[in-house]
Amino acid sequence: MTTKATAIGPEREKLDANLAKIEELSQRLIEALAHRKPINAALNGPEPLLYAQAMQAYWQESITNPAKVFEQQVGYWGKSLSHFLEAQKALSEGRLAPPDDPGPTDKRFKNPLWDSHPYFNFIKQQYLINAEAIRNAVDEIEEMDPQEKRRLRYFARQITDMMAPTNFFATNPDALQRAVETEGDSLVKGLENLVADLEANNGELVVRLVDEEAFEVGGNIATAEGKVVWRNRMMELIQYSPTTDQVRETPLVIFPPWINKFYILDLKPQNSLIRYIVDQGYTLFVVSWVNADESYRDVGLEDYIEDGYLTAMRVVREICGVDRLNVVGYCIAGTTLALTLSLLKKRGDKQIKSATFFTALTDFSDQGEFVPFLQNDFVDGIEKEIEASGILKSFIMSRTFSFLRSTDLIYTPAIRSYMMGETPPAFDLLYWNGDGANLPGRMTMQYLRGLCQRNEFAEGRFELMGETLDVRDVDVPLMSVTAETDHIAAWKDCYRGVQKMGSRSKTFVLSESGHIAGIVNPPSKKKYGHYLNPDLSLPAPEWQQSAEYHAGSWWPVWEAWLRKRSGKMVTAREAGDSEHPPLCDAPGTYVRVKANQ
């Protein structure tokens, strides 16, 4: 007995010491939260009217079809009661084992204790029963606008995801086991992680997904050699150093999205699209956009086009001594590239030989997964936030995208960091994902109101820079590259926009994977394939059904397509010229500015 007590004593002392640390950290937590400046409440959820409409529809259903409502309720009660009785029966028979669990697998419940331990199994099964009941209740509401019902379904899913037992310490066996194994160290480290995240974001909870100390822009990521050859208030223009003795005569300019930084195309040498393009013998320029601050309040899409696209195109033509060039637009920069091409068409300007669109939307008639965020209550909230700060802050955009995959991008990382006390991983893609940019206020509202909500470009009535822009004006040879599981720019929506474009030469590529991995898909990995089908008259599902599948990356297919539109071989060009001397080394200065500065 004495030996056992001696063994337990030091363990208990360590646990008590850790509990004391938790008390100290709790005070820091309170102080961090005291500095929080809440954003507009409209950005945290739908207006109450949505739930009122749901309740009204449900009440109407109970009056007109009470049997159906009672059937739903009795079904839920029956499952819950049977579940409780099975657990009671097992306990009364002295069996500390749960009943058989025939339910579907769920990666949140991969710990064996969820199936083998009666307590955890009961909690898991009851949670799944509750979640199913909520889904069914929403699905069977009939007297409700389909778009509002879609929003309700989304927010109902957010509620059930938030209430998962894995998200609470007392009902998470992984967290409890880790706390016991580490004698409370995991709780201390987890609370330290939580406090650090709050302090780093002025009291706003932004879960850190990656070890930020593991990466340096220009150090171990974004390291392709090049020079900044032009800079203005909107962008830095980078010309990358040639790696071949000769290059194609026609230069290529890439316009990346300004929601994130351009170096997604140059994370590391093995998956760098920038390096790949240069190695194939092209003179490559890439725009690095400014990270907007409050002084950019009145900057609009017209500024991005005039001081970004048109200026970059002019400088590239001057440096390379050519009249025409090829261009690429990625995501929102692809949408704006289409606007620019429409503008050039109106002006009779034929400087563009070809355009490539990476996951770019131009027709917003179906808002897809963004329906919850593109209704007036949410957009009104964004507008009020912009009126106060002049910009749409990066963390608001990041949070919005994260909630589309809340289990993977919010709750699971929070569990690992705050409950398990784990250090975030050193993952370059997640580092880039967290290195966002602020958006100018005027541009944000033009995009949300004119393009997303009113779909004016696809309908041929988007007023900008003295012209009425129409997606049908896009008539240059083009290739559109989309991604099969993209939840930001759904491929079928991208396809619909391409169908409306006026070009007689269109190539549409459907890559496997999502918004990032579908684009950053080097041939060396031999990971994701792609689909091709020249018949763009088909509806999207039929296009895919009859498309030819090709294993491996789409990069070589695109390069072969681009090569035909890039002219003869000429001597490789060094960066800049006498009129455009290099200003600094790539990746430049704008890319290093953090959104919270």
Active site residues: 331
Count Cβ atoms within 10 A of the Cβ of residue 322 and give its class: 0-12 exposed, 13-18 middle, 19 or more buried: middle
Locate 506 and state its tokens: 């269109």
Count Cβ atoms within 10 A of the Cβ of residue 27 and give its class: 0-12 exposed, 13-18 middle, 19 or more buried: exposed
Angle between helices 146-162 and 48-64 (to 10 degrees): 110
| Cα gap 392→382, rounded to integer Å | 7
Q: CB neighbours of 146 closer than 8 A, spacing ≥ 6?
A: none
| Cα gap 466→75, rounded to integer Å | 61
Rounded to a whole number of angstroms, the distance between the first and last alpha carbons of the chain is 60
- Residue showing tokens 């064996």: 112
Q: Please, are residues 328 and 252 in contact by the beta-carbon 8 Å criterion?
A: yes
| Cα gap 178→309, rounded to integer Å | 53
Locate 295 and state its tokens: 């002084």
Q: HEC string of 42-110?
A: HHHCCCHHHHHHHHHHHHHHHHHCHHHHHHHHHHHHHHHHHHHHHHHHHHHCCCCCCCCCCCCCCHHHC
Closest CA to 428 of 286, 322, 269, 571: 269
Residue 32: which H helix or E strand, with range? helix 2-34
- Residue showing tokens 């009671």: 88
> Quick check: helix, strand or coil at residue 325?
strand
236 CB-side CA count, 13 A: 25
Locate 512 and state its tokens: 């496997």
Q: CB neighbours of 132 closer than 8 A, spacing ≥ 6?
A: none
Q: HEC string of 272-295?
A: CHHHHHHHCCCCEEEEEECCCCHH
Sheet strands (E) in 458-552 = 462-464, 467-469, 478-483, 506-511, 530-532, 548-550
